[in-house]
Amino acid sequence: MSASNIPVERADFDKVIVPTFAPAAFIPVRGLGSRVWDQGGRELVDLTSGIAVNALGHAHPALIEALTEQAGKLWHISNIFTNEPALRLATKLVAATFAERVFFANSGAEANEAAFKLARRYAHNLYGPEKYEIISALNSFHGRTLFTVTIGGQAKYSDGFGPKIQGITHVPYNDLAALKAVISDKTCAVVLEPIQGEGGVLPAERAYLEGARELCDANNALLIFDEVQCGMGRSGSLFAYMDYGVTPDILTSAKGLGGGFPIGAMLTTEAAAKQFSVGVHGTTFGGNPLACAVAERVLDIVNTPEILQGVKARHERFKSHLNTLNERYGIFTQIRGAGLLIGCVLADAWKGRAKDFFDAAEKEALMILQAGPDVLRFTPSLTIDEADIDEGMMRFERAVARVVNG
Ligand SMILES: *Cc1c(COP(=O)(O)O)cnc(C)c1O
């Protein structure tokens, strides 16, 4: 019955996979909670959760149940037909947020692609073809399709692919005057991450998001929040906009939404949604029953006071460990972020060396992340045990000592 299992090793990556990634030397084969085991049986502490994806850790029993139960019923049916898990998930997302309508996709980039297309279509329909400019922030990250890399604020991801999509302006993040200087009646949308993730775990200031909201309203532009990384409980609220009290017109979610199963979603208002009529946008896999059944269960679990307050408590536990460590080693100038999206900014002496800390952590059987060359990032499971935090931080201290002591 079972397929023949040919032996594979890390070296095969460099032979058979397109070289867009440079994965670590070990190959994870199994995970449970915040622990991962590699091919050789080595146990690692996982403070990455697949880049803020496995919101409930690895192999959560409720998610296995949701997935396998749905797997026995209906995997895929296409959007020529609707399905119960998609309708249930959308109903719950609408009940839990500002949104009145949901569009399902399979990734963050696709959710953003839908958001950007909707913003342009909305402006086109209501104000005419001249209103298509989109303003986004420098250092922002919105995905890897051509539209999303062009809107993302890192030229290294968008250069070298031929002509870019026109009408996109980048401004410094957290700089309201800069936004005010470029927004106009030609602007159809302003796109922001309430907490920049890839750009260095940089939270927005409240006044910045409030000001962006006002500027959008004054210019008939939609405000889009990309909460692909900072949403779904990661900030300690269901979505980070709730922490700020600033409501967007469109919000995108992915990563943690599926708890490890690929899914993306664009949430929006009735007024915006109705500018997308039948056939204007679409997807084959978006809203498939398997992904939606799992995400529904993730949402049920994450959107509870126990989990969300637990995220805030875990934030404090991480922070106290990191502060203690920093008193000893003085390697960070700032420990920032919210909930379980935590960034440690390297001091001048260690600037550009985030990868060295990542490598040292691996040697100590610890999985951490970078957010650029100058920031170490922690995005553990929202339900990580206190003991795993403590063990992870002990290993992290040993990794730091390795780097500091050369
Ligand atoms: C990861 C990420 C994306 C892209 O998501 P994919 O699922 O990789 O397409 C978009 N926006 C933000 C803020 C992200 O962190």
Mutational test site, ligand 1, from 51, 106, 136, 142, max ligand atoms within 8 Å of CB? 142
Distance 62 CA to ligand 1 centre (A): 25
What percentage of residues in the chain have a pLDDT greater than 70?
99
Task: Answer yes or no: same fold for 3-59+305-404 and 74-302.
Answer: no
The CATH-assigned architecture of domain 3-59+305-404 is Alpha-Beta Complex (3.90)
The per-residue b/e assignment along 334-363, b for 16 or more CB within 10 angstroms, e otherwise, is ebbbbbbbbbbbbeeebeebbeebbebbbe
Residue 341 forms beta bridges with which residues?
A: 338
Q: Which of 266, 310, 286, 252 is nearest to 57 (CA)?
A: 310
Instruction: Determine if residue 81 is labeled as part of a ligand binding site.
Output: no
SS3 282: coil
Q: Which of 331, 334, 363, 362 is nearest to 348 (CA)?
A: 331
The CATH-assigned architecture of domain 74-302 is 3-Layer(aba) Sandwich (3.40)
Full-model pTM: 0.98
Residue range 32-45, pLDDT digits in tens: 999 999 999 999 99
In this model, does residue 4 exceed pLDDT 80?
Answer: no
Distance 398 CA to ligand 1 centre (A): 31
Instruction: Determine if residue 226 is labeled as part of a ligand binding site.
Output: yes
Rounded to an integer, what distance in angstroms lies between the CA atom of residue 222 and that of residue 353?
A: 38
pLDDT at 3: 66
Tokens of 267: 């949430």
Residue range 126-147, pLDDT digits in tens: 999 999 999 999 999 999 999 9
User: What residue segments make up the domains of the chain, in order of their start?
Assistant: 3-59+305-404, 74-302
Distance 405 CA to ligand 1 centre (A): 35
Which residue's CA is minimally distant from atom 6 of ligand 1? Answer: 108
Give the residue-averaged pLDDT of 187-200: 98
Q: How confident is the model at residue 2 (pLDDT cuts 50, 70, 90)?
A: low
CB 154 within 8 A of CB 139: yes
